[in-house]
Amino acid sequence: MMIIKKLRTPLVSWDEFCFASSRVFWVLAYSTQTLSPNDVADTSSTAAGTTLYHRLVRFRDPSVVPVLDLWVQEGRAIDQEDLHVIIKQLRKFGRYKHALQVYGALLNCYAKAKALEKAEATMQKMRELGYSRSLTYNVMMGLYSATEKYEKLDLLMEEMEQKGIRIDKFTYAIRLNAYAKTLEIRKMEMLLLKMEVDPEVTMEWHAYTLIANGYLKAGEKEKALMSLKKSEYLIRPSQRKSAYEILLTLYASAGRKDEVYRIWNLYKNIGKFYNHGYLCLLSSLAKLDCIDDVEKIYEEWEAQNTYFDFHVPNLLITMYCKKGLLEKAETLVKKLIESGKEPNASTWSRMAMGYVKNDGMEKAVEAMRKSILGSFHGWTVDTATLSACLDYLDHKGHLNEAEEMIKSLHQKGHLSEGVYMGILKNLSRKPLVQDLI
């Protein structure tokens, strides 16, 4: 649904896997009909129709979600303050069901923003008004997991049981994931047993990958491998691509190169695949410290890739830099340039990191400069590498160069005006990059 994608504070996406249930929240709870502007009580022709509030209060169908969808389709934004006002007015008019529908949006906004107190207050209001659904609780459980408030997960599950609210596969998975993170292995195992005997839960492959991940973190490799085998038996044909990509990573974490290649061969038999599969395999082999294998697979990708993706060579460059193989990294960068593929900001950032680790500070400064100049919106500077470069320039007495580097960061939008001025003011103190961290 369009509203999920374009709220000014976007809806929550379940902690790596579990927060995905918030999307289902909308699909299951409300109508998915599509409206045209003419359906909204011809409000588009009036001044009142320019506000979301007036559209909603004049709309009388069971669900107001289509109105929200249309608003977003028109390129308009919705923020939390708008929702607060709308909820207040809908309740004033006795339209509690519509108000609750907008509570759902508000709860997801707060969960995504990790605004714990506001999310809890919204959840409490939904309780008081009798709005209790599994997926609402799952959103709160996902938020508690993301903010490491693990002790509150059991309380919510107990509340669900007391109120007769169904504990579904998403609820179980959030709790399993939290047990795995905190290495509460016995509790994880007991919950899995409960899940396996629950007649209303159909076991799926990803539950066992969560279990396997917990075992791996706890150093119980054999149990992890058994869980991965169980996971494989449950993979449906339509799930193979995403499932195999996760299995590649987990078998690598278990130190099983043979299983990595076995899954890779299954993956290749699915049919046409693209760069993400190669990235999963390469990162898995790199985790196993198999440099020769990484280079061989990279050559295979190079020979048959349809769409060039810098993430692939950047992964190889990262491995070389971490291993101190700077000449190999430089050769790869040179080869990319000669083929007409200009290295991006991430490439140069990785090179800078490698030079710093291997005491090549002149080259590190130059690579960091190129990284900043080629940076893009959303790029994040490696503060440790930047700090090392600035300290080196300070030590050499090249404050002008340090100032230019900071100015470039500011001009590219990676530093606020306040932080930028603060750094310039204290440029000669050490460490120079304290205000960035």
Average model confidence (pLDDT) for the chain?
A: 82
Largest CA distance in the chain: 72
Q: Which of 28-37, 130-139, 167-176, 345-354 has the lowest mean pLDDT?
A: 28-37
CB count in 10 Å sphere of residue 290: 17
Q: Which two tokens stand for residue 239?
A: 């799930």
- Which tokens go with 123? 């959840």
pLDDT digits (tens, 9 = 90+) for 218-250: 999 999 999 999 999 999 999 999 999 999 999
Residue 374 in any domain: the answer is: yes
The DSSP string of 133-184 is: -HHHHHHHHHHHHHTT-THHHHHHHHHHHHTT----HHHHHHHHHHHHHTT-
- Residue 427's pLDDT is 63
The tokens for 275 are: 């760069």
Contact criterion met (CB below 8 Å) for 310 and 374: no
pLDDT in tens, 352-411: 999 999 999 999 999 999 999 998 887 888 889 998 999 999 889 898 898 899 888 888
Q: What is the average pLDDT across 264-281? A: 90
pLDDT tens readout for residues 164-214: 999 999 999 999 999 999 999 999 999 999 999 999 889 999 999 999 999
Q: Which two tokens stand for residue 190?
A: 């007991």
Confidence of residue 136 (pLDDT cuts 50, 70, 90): confident
What pTM was computed for the model?
Answer: 0.76
Confidence of residue 79 (pLDDT cuts 50, 70, 90): low
* Residue 344 covered by a domain: yes
29-43, 47-61, 351-365, 401-415: least confident range: 29-43
Domain-embedded: residue 258: no
User: What CA–CA distance (Å, rounded) separates 176 from 187?
Assistant: 9
Does residue 427 belong to any structural domain of this protein? yes
Q: Is 83 inside a domain boundary?
A: no
Classify residue 296: in a domain, yes or no. no
Neighbour count for residue 92 (Cβ, 10 Å): 10
Distance between CA atoms of 172 and 174, rounded to whole angstroms?
6
The pLDDT, as a whole number, for residue 34 is 36
Residue 269 falls inside a structural domain: no
Measuring CA to CA, how many Å separate 388 from each of 49, 146, 402, 409, 422? 56, 32, 11, 16, 19
Residue type, 346: S
Reference 241, options 289, 205, 202; nearest CA is 205
**Mean of pLDDT values over 112-119:** 87
With tokens 């588009």, the residue in question is 44
Residue 374 belongs to what domain range? 324-437
Q: Are 415 and 390 in contact (CB under 8 A)?
A: no
Assess contact for 20 and 146: CB atoms under 8 A. no
The pLDDT of residue 54 = 76
Per residue in 4-29, pLDDT (tens digit) is: 333 333 333 333 333 333 332 332 23
Q: In the predicted model, is pLDDT for residue 72 greater than 70? A: no
286 Cβ contact list (under 8 Å, min separation 6): 294, 315, 318, 319
Q: pLDDT tens digits for 316-348? A: 999 999 999 999 999 999 999 999 999 999 999
Residue at 186 is within a domain: no
Please tell me the total count of domains within the chain.
Answer: 1
Q: What pLDDT, on a 0 to 100 scale, did the predictor assign at position 380?
A: 85
Which CATH number is 369's domain given?
1.25.40
Please indicate whether residue 65 or residue 67 has the higher confidence score (pLDDT): 67
